[in-house]
Structure 1
Amino acid sequence: MSAPLGPAAHPLRARRSWYVYDWANSAYVTTTQTVLFAPYLTVLARRAACGPVTAGCTRTLDVLGVGVAPGSLALYTTTLATLLSALLLPFVGALADRVRRRSHLLGAFAWPGAVAATAMVALGGDRWELGVLLALVATVSLTASSVVNDALLCDVAAPAERDAVSSRGWAAGYLAGFALLALNLAVVSSPGALGLDEEGAVRLSLASAGLWWGVFTFVPVLGLRHLPARAATAQALDAGRGPLAPVRQLVRTLRGLRRYPQALRFLLAYLVFNDGIQTVVAAASVYGQEELGFGATQLIATVLLVQGVAFGGALLFGRLARRFGAQRSVLGGLVLWSVVVLLAFAVPRGAFGAWLALAVLIGLVLGGTQALARSMFSRLVPVGAEAEYFGLYQAGERGTSWLGTLVFGLVAQVSGSYRPALVALLAFFVVGGVLLARVDTAAGARDAGQG
């Protein structure tokens, strides 16, 4: 089994190369996944179902013999991509632990997604089928490459350095997301300045996110190629060779999970509190629009503010972890998330200033809690099986990410208001915090051989 390398073996240049993958993919996530793709796919789907005149149309799309409302197509696409990722990511992790140079595998997973994202420039008319296909490829590629990138954190930083390194990576991602989204919103807001119509501006913006992702991925792939080649791990040797070897390796890892109880406790805690975080983020736009009466321009400004503040928030939490430890810092972040929920409940309708103040608080805790969760987990996973465990980390996150939205939707339906639905999400932060407090990180690091 390979031993963790010390910081002297990892020059600053390698870490800077690693930061750039967060910079590369986060711009795609913000511009395409968060803001532009779902509304545009809905436009294409409505046009396919209703023809040129879509106002008042209630027709459905025929998707494999099933009638699908055009407004639901983007949600179903996201759900399908999430399920595919949850099924594939454990095997991606097993494969990443067998290769000698993970940076090569990072490019192999990232570039097909970047190509698919760039190809969204070809959308238009009523080509919703192409949009669904490209979104599936891009999303699965993104999540697979993220598993490899998370495992690379263990290759570029010693355990004591990972809080700061992970936080800087997240900060770089939020800065990139802010920069490209601001540029693309200028394009979409004034398409005539470039001789485009509104849809042409959206397609250009979608393509720019894919190009950004693909071009900047060259930096970590090339910059990390000089990392020492990884020796075969015990799990890989036991699994043998052949196309089914990663599957056999994954089975052995799952059977051995009981030897790492702290990693399991953390994983359970993360699945609970991260579901709360993701639901708050996903529900923010509908809450702001339907409950507080804000328009599209105000909501887009909110997204930009969150992205900008999250850059500083990730760095701030990295410093807090240096002083108080990652576990206490994440627990403090969960307390702040609970405060966010309670304050959002109290924001009066139309109070945009209070809403923006809340967005600042969200930005402060958003990047920090996720960055430190990644670095904390990296110290609990066994040496030589980092990618496999990060595959389980990402797969579990996607396999449970529907629970928060289900609770939010059910409470909103029963109560007739989004306010009590938002308060119901407090349970995820409270339960997740209680579970996280029970994790013994020192014992977990010793069990995992992380020092």
Structure 2
Amino acid sequence: MILRDLLRRLDWRAWVLQDVGNSAFATTILAVLYPLYYREVLGAGAEASSVLAWWGYVSALSMLLTALLAPGLGALADGAGRRKGALLAATALGVGASAAMGLLGEGHWVWGLALFALGSLGFSFNNVFYDSFLPHLAAPEERAGLSSAGYALGYLGGGTLLVANAALAGFWGEAGFRLSFLSVALWWGLFTLPFLRHVGEPPPSPREPGETWGASAYGRPWRTLLGLRHQPDLLWFLGAFWLYNDGIGTIMRMGVLYGSSLGLGQGTLLGALVATQFVGVPCTILFGRLAGRWGDRRVLLAGLGGYLALCAFIPFVVRPWHFWVLALGVGVVQGGTQALSRSLFASLVPKERSAELYGFYDLSSKFAGVLGPFLFGLLAQLTGSLRMGGPVLGLFFLGGMAMLRRVRAGGRP
């Protein structure tokens, strides 16, 4: 039913295509090719442990900045009725940084980190405003399916471009890597155009008496934060998401560097992670269908249980086929857990404040993401290995699952 509706509804198709576009940044730059290029080309001549550690630190810093700014920017966009404009500005930042990465060469690792931070900010803010349209576009019973379709087709789009970019890098080496970063900018920009044309701007949220447009940027989020104690389901969800999304984001950002630190070849790393994208397409759709039958929360808990098992497996990854098992396992659960997190949160928030509250959703995500990459970077410096990162992340999944069990949404236990 959801795919038939996507063919019928132009605004749904345009919304999903934005996921196809920004997923190119997630695959080529966050997860696979740019980390390899950073370590092997941009970081050439520098101490390897320092290069790896600074990657973790800058990842943490970019997440921290997003976390601090997202709720205020979301409230500003809600109050002004400028959610689409905010999405366009974030997209322009991500697209511009991606294009500039194609200009970097050997030894430019400091510039590479700066552009990575800017691109990550653009990508994160883009997702805040993109996600905020979900409760406006779909009825409660449609949100899990639409969210899952977005993640599934995002996997397909990001994976397709990743295959093409991996071929470029394989044939042309450094020049191919540079072209791949330029292709991300072009791909993301083109797939944003249908969204800007066919997805309507939701009405602005009403202001309180005497509230000015600018004052809403941080006055509203502060009041919302204080009021969370009266919304226990929302509070429990944000706490749970804070914990378990730390693991999801850290695995995505550090996976290639972890495999590379084990001495695995580029062929193994690229092949396994490309396969992960395509495994994610049917598995994400399956998660959405199961959620329609058993509820978002139950299926989400099952997916997090899968992540917990993968964390326990990480210290034993020593051979190429071990990395393949790990990567494919991530592909099975990653898209479904992200899609159901987004749709479950949509059931907890009022539509008129969607951008502000998805800012808190992103804040919860990014504060969690500060700790994971930081711990990986610290472990790399202290032990010379990233191997113990898996068991540490497992604790975050356990805590997140315990808190998620306290959430009641949509009348489902």
Please, which runs of 5 or more residues in structure 2 have no aligned partner? Answer: none
Match of 1:22, as an amino acid? D
Aligned partners of 2:256 and 2:31: how far apart in 1? 10
Q: Distance in 2 between matches of 1:19 and 1:280?
A: 24
Partner of residue 51, structure 1: none
- Provide the C-alpha distance between the structure 2 equivalents of 1:290 and 1:69, rounded to a whole number of angstroms: 13
2:214 aligned residue:
243
Which residue of structure 2 lines up, in the alignment, with residue 12 of structure 1? 9
Alignment of 1:284 with 2:258, yes or no, is: no
Cα distance per residue 1:158-201 (max 9 Å; x no partner): 1111000000001111111111110011111111xxxxxx3222
Rounded to whole Å, the distance in 2 between the matches of 1:321 and 1:283 is 29
Quick check: which has more Rg, 1 or 2?
1
Q: 1:156 to 1:39 in 2, by over 3 A?
A: same
**Cα distance between partner residues in 2 of 1:166 and 1:106:** 18
Which residue does 1:214 correspond to in 2? 189
Q: Which amino acid aligns with 2:9?
A: L
| One-letter identity of the residue aligned with 2:348 | L
Structure 1: tracts of 5 or more residues without a match:
1-7, 48-53, 61-67, 192-197, 446-451
Equivalence for 1:202: 177
User: Who is 1:223 aligned against?
Assistant: 198
The equivalent of 1:146 in structure 2 is: 127
Deviations 1:112-147 (A, max 9, x none): 321232232322365555434433332222211211
Closer, same or farther: CA 280–201 of 1 in aligned 2, 3 Å: closer
Q: Distance in 2 between matches of 1:139 and 1:160?
A: 32
- Cα deviation, residue 414, structure 1: 7.9
How far residue 386 of structure 1 moved from its aligned partner, in angstroms, is 1.2
Determine the C-alpha separation between the residues in 2 that align with 1:123 and 1:287. 23
| Cα distance change on mapping 1:322 and 1:415 into 2, 3 Å | same
- Amino acid in structure 1 at the alignment position of 2:362: Q
* Equivalent residue runs for 1:261-410 within 5 Å: 261-290=232-261, 293-346=263-316, 349-350=318-319, 352-405=320-373
Size of the alignment, in residue pairs? 408
Summarize deviations over 1:22-68 as a string: whole Å, max 9, x none: 10101122112222334434566556xxxxxx3xx65x9xxxxxxx9
Query: What SS is found at the alignment partner of 1:385?
Result: helix
Contact 1:113-1:138 within 8 A present in 2 as well: yes
- The CA deviation at 1:377 is 0.6
> Matched residues in 1 for 2:249 and 2:368: separation?
11
Distance change in 2, residues 1:217/1:188 (3 Å): same
Contact 1:262 1:444 in 2 (8 A): no
Aligned partner letter, 2:351: V
Aligned to 2:166: 185
CA RMSD, aligned part only? 3.0
Alpha-carbon spacing, 1:425–1:136, altered in 2? closer, same or farther (3 Å): closer
Distance in 2 between residues matched to 1:265 and 1:252, nearest whole Å: 18
Which protein, 1 or 2, shows the higher relative CO under an 8 Å CA cutoff with sep ≥ 6? 2
**TM-score, length-scaled by structure 1:** 0.81
* Structure 1 Cα separation of the partners of residues 376 and 179 of structure 2: 34
Identify which of 188, 205, 208 aligns with 1:233: 205
The alpha-carbon distance between structure 1 residues 125 and 346, as it changes in their structure 2 partners (threshold 3 A), is closer
Given that 1:239 and 1:249 are in contact with CA atoms closer than 8 Å, whether structure 2 keeps it comes out as: no
**8 Å contact 1:96–1:387 — kept in the other structure?**
yes
Distance 1:407 1:122, change over 3 A: closer
